[in-house]
Amino acid sequence: MEAPPLASLSLTHVHYDPADPISHACAYLALVPQALVITYAALIWSTREVEILLMFTGQMGCEALNWLLKRTIKEQRPARIELTEAHPTTDHAICLMATIHQAQRLADIAELMENERYYDLTISCDGQIFKVHRAVMCSASPVIAGACDNDMKESNTGNIEHTVYDADTVKRMVSYVYTQTYTFEPARQSSNLEDGKDSEIEATVPVNVNDQLIAHARVFGIGDYYDIPKLRIMAVENFVESAAAEWEVDGFITVIKEVNGLMGPGHRELRDALRTVTFDHITELTKSDVFMTELAKLEEVQDFSADLLRAVVLHYNEERATLSQQLETAIAEFNVSKNRVVHLNTALISAMERADSGEQSAETNATEAREAIHRLRNMVLQLPIAVSFVINYEEGAERNVLNGDSESETALWEQTDRPPRAGERAINAESDYEYGSRVGIWRMLNLFEAHKMPITAYAVGQALGENPAVAKALKEGGHEIASHAYRWIDYHDMLPELEKEYIVRQLDVLKKLTGEYPVGWYYGRLSPRSRGLVHEVYKEMGVPLVWESDSYCDDLPYWVDVPAEKETEKPEGMLMVPYTYDNNDLKFHSTTGAFSPQQFFEYLQGAFDTLLAEGQAGQPKMMTIGLHCRIIGKPGRFQALKRFVEYISSKPAGQVWVTKRVDIAEHWRSKYPYQKGKR
């Protein structure tokens, strides 16, 4: 029977230099605790005093606690450091020597990369093969470690096929792992190509600063891809340093595209660096027609455009809380609707200008900010055609004896030729109207939001009040809610006092439902007094009225004088944003020239093509499409609208601006300010 293995009992374990007398003496001093135990035992035996026994008990208790802690909290012994007489054993000296030791280790690892000895892993990219060491790469990247440790292709073949970034970027990543840095020097590395022959790989050296910035961005990207955080940090630092050392406007748009294309969720380091670099040169960039034109065409950088504009405004206007609030509101609206980059910039700029309206700061920096913003707007908004979809939300506010009307509604429902019912309800007409609020509105909103197109809703107050879910959906969708009067009735013969009361009621209802007053107004069936009364109520309530649409005489907005401002020293005028009867689904219920769905699509397509051609010839145009939930919202007719939306969506970026009427009005106001007596 074999004897059990023996264990050792060691009360002390000391390393010392036998050739050094002091070291030898210190080793013997380590035996002092054992000598103390013997001393305590002798004193207790000879004196029989309790105090000495308690002291000994406390000493042994400390030793027991020390023994327990050392076996509970286990830490690896520090690496042994050889000391000499020239290097005293201070903490500073130990740290310094540890740093030297680490540097030597890094130098040894870097040497492995140069001579490729003992390599056991390869990374292939673009036909080039990089010989690396599994232990080195896996210790730097948990992604590579996962591929090599698990039963994956890489662990079986010993090769990692990289297809995301170019070979130069892979080489810089490998260089960082071995040397803790990367450069653009044409350092050579021996490699085996696919044909098995030895060759030399030389990283391409970026020829200008923008190429360098792109290279740093790609290094950041590959650092993110392989989860090497310190490589990401170094790439961002190098990106900023390269931009600070040199700067070129030409080609900088490619840097923006590259950085935004590399962004992963939650990793904003490089994007923040790009924003800082861009902001430092904002004046040069916004003065470059080429840069601004290219920026306007890039839908994928719309979030970057938002960040840039936010940085410009907040840097120059930190003290202006109103401006910041308007800006954040515009960005929040955009984040819901997600329309084209042009819509983003317009929404931001119009919000800024609304907050800044009428103010002329004496500060030079604020003036520079406004000029930069104007340059942004003027470059971005050179589009041939603006398209405004308008949903008339009227269902529930039509004539009905339940609302105190003398007869039922006859207009714009499936049996328009039916005469009204005097003094009683028309159940069929009411039900047909109800289809719009129950089904049609949701079908239309789903279509527009699927194509990221913001629309304007002509909202009748009583109708919207009966269906607040629609108001909520419009608001959350980033759409504009304009006024279509409080009731959907003919106001021609209404008493002025009652009409004014209806205007006030309409404003109060929309404010309650949406949290804000409407800035646009359309009647449809107005009286000769209606415009004046609307203007009067808005002035009395101190509410801004940005546009009106009771006009059909032009393809562009235009200004009109307001009679009530005739004697005013600084008249403001009223901007008319014309509506349409021809590009309107009411043609389906017209007694003359009624449309089929196919004819309606062809008519809209023809109108669009005509206006687009005129815009491309240098005369930009606006196209309005009037829609009703109970008409175009019906399945058979809806396909005509869907086909038209898809048709204009297929146009190249930079041709069509689908937006809200308030955005068109804000743009027109800033580009063509009101001049009394001129349209």
Q: What domains can be seen in the chain, in order of their start residue?
A: 21-66 (no CATH), 281-382 (no CATH), 385-671 (3.20.20.370)
Which of these ranges, 168-172, 268-272, 541-545, 664-668, has the smallest mean pLDDT? 268-272
Tell me the β-bridge partners of 391: 457, 627
Structure tokens at 653: 């970026």
Give every CB contact of residue 255 below 8 A, 6+ residues apart in sequence.
210, 213, 214, 217, 274
Which amino acid, residue 255? Answer: V
Mean pLDDT of 301-311: 63
Confidence of residue 134 (pLDDT cuts 50, 70, 90): confident
How many Å apart are CA 391 and CA 459, to the nearest integer?
A: 8
- How does pLDDT run across 527-562, given as a tens digit for each residue? 999 999 999 999 999 999 999 999 999 999 999 999
Q: How many CB atoms lie within 10 A of CB 26?
A: 13
How many Å apart are CA 474 and CA 455, to the nearest integer?
A: 9
**Do 152 and 194 contact (CB within 8 A), yes or no?**
no
- How does pLDDT run across 618-653, given as a tens digit for each residue? 889 999 999 999 999 999 999 999 999 999 999 886
**Helical pair 341-356 and 302-316, crossing angle rounded to 10 deg:** 20
**Do 398 and 409 contact (CB within 8 A), yes or no?**
yes
Which amino acid, residue 72? Answer: T
Per-residue pLDDT at 105: 64
Confidence of residue 367 (pLDDT cuts 50, 70, 90): very low
For the chain, how long is the longest CA-to-CA vector? 130
Buried b (16+ CB within 10 A) or exposed e, 530-557: bbebbbbbbeeeeeebbbbbbeeeebbb
**Do 557 and 668 contact (CB within 8 A), yes or no?**
yes
Which of these ranges, 95-99, 217-221, 346-350, has the smallest mean pLDDT? 346-350
Structure tokens at 166: 């170019």
- How does pLDDT run across 154-203, given as a tens digit for each residue? 777 888 989 888 899 999 998 898 888 888 754 344 333 344 344 344 44
Which of these ranges, 373-377, 433-437, 464-468, 604-608, has the smallest mean pLDDT? 373-377
Per-residue pLDDT at 566: 86
Structure tokens at 434: 């109800």
Taking alpha carbons only, the member of 607, 645, 605 closest to residue 623 is 607
Structure tokens at 311: 């940085």
DSSP H helices in 453-529: 461-466, 468-476, 496-514
Q: Are strands 480-483 and 456-459 parallel, antiparallel or unpaired?
A: parallel
**Do 483 and 459 contact (CB within 8 A), yes or no?**
yes
How many Å apart are CA 80 and CA 8, to the nearest integer?
A: 23
Distances (CA, A) of 157 to 36, 120, 124, 148, 151: 64, 10, 12, 10, 11
Structure tokens at 616: 């491309």
Give every CB contact of residue 488 below 8 A, 6+ residues apart in sequence.
394, 397, 398, 460, 462, 463, 524
Per-residue pLDDT at 345: 47
Phi/psi of residue 84, nearest 5 degrees: -130, 175
Which of these ranges, 131-145, 198-212, 552-566, has the smallest mean pLDDT? 198-212
How many Å apart are CA 403 and CA 430, to the nearest integer?
A: 12
pLDDT over 80 (residue 460): yes
- How does pLDDT run across 61-88, given as a tens digit for each residue? 888 888 788 777 766 555 554 544 444 4
Taking alpha carbons only, the member of 285, 334, 339, 337 closest to residue 308 is 285
Structure tokens at 111: 């040497």
How many Å apart are CA 35 and CA 30, to the nearest integer?
A: 10
